Amino acid sequence: MKFDRCRNLIPVMSIEGDRERTDSRRGKGIYDRLIATMDGFYRRHLMFGASVTVTKENMVSVLSDDFISELAKRGCRLIIYVEYVPMSAGTEDLAPSDAEREYLTGRIAELRKSRDGAMFLSFPGDEKESGGCFAAGRAFFHINSHGGAEPCPFSPFSDINVRDTSLREAVASRLFRELRSGSLLAAEHDGGCVLYEKREQVQALLSGE
């Protein structure tokens, strides 16, 4: 297994809470496959993390001690909480409100103090402490199923493909450089993904306008 040889690689598995919520969003049977994979990694003493999309519907449960303890028992040492971004029309009500974002921030602060041996990250909450969005190679970028290097999963624009170039060259793409050198990544926004909210400006950069 590649992860046995390359201990610097840490897979992050998407889970949305319990079986019902995970299968509802990810597909039937995905929860059981995730649990089996986590247990396999634990038996092999391999580090892994979990990514949780936080919505109005699952916020309380995925921040509960029971859920976090269950992941910890299976060897999970990293949880990334990602606020839901309404990419599809009609799903706006799933996005956390300002009050719910405050609760998320406070709860993660509690977990960081009370849970030794685990790391908790919040997206985009932690960006406020880091001077803006992490995307476009500032801290990470996204590779889509076709190999296109995108600023982030919620900003599906690309001017370079990792099938044709190296990761180092992808990070230095024109689009990524312009995003990092401009003001978009630090722009004010209403929560969620700043590049999704400013997608028309990102598209203009991509087309060279």
| Residue type for position 91 | T
| Residue range 76-131, pLDDT digits in tens | 999 999 988 887 778 888 888 889 989 999 999 999 999 988 999 988 777 766 66
| Residue range 189-201, pLDDT digits in tens | 655 678 888 889 9
Q: Where are the domains of the chain?
A: 2-123, 142-207
Q: How confident is the model at residue 188 (pLDDT cuts 50, 70, 90)?
A: low
Burial class (CB in 10 A: 0-12, 13-18, 19+), 168: exposed
What residues contact residue 1 under an 8 Å CB cut-off, 6+ apart?
44
| Residue range 10-50, pLDDT digits in tens | 999 999 999 999 999 999 999 999 999 999 999 999 999 99
φ/ψ (deg, to 5) at 155 = -130, 80
Could you tell me which CATH number the domain at 2-123 has?
A: 3.80.30.10
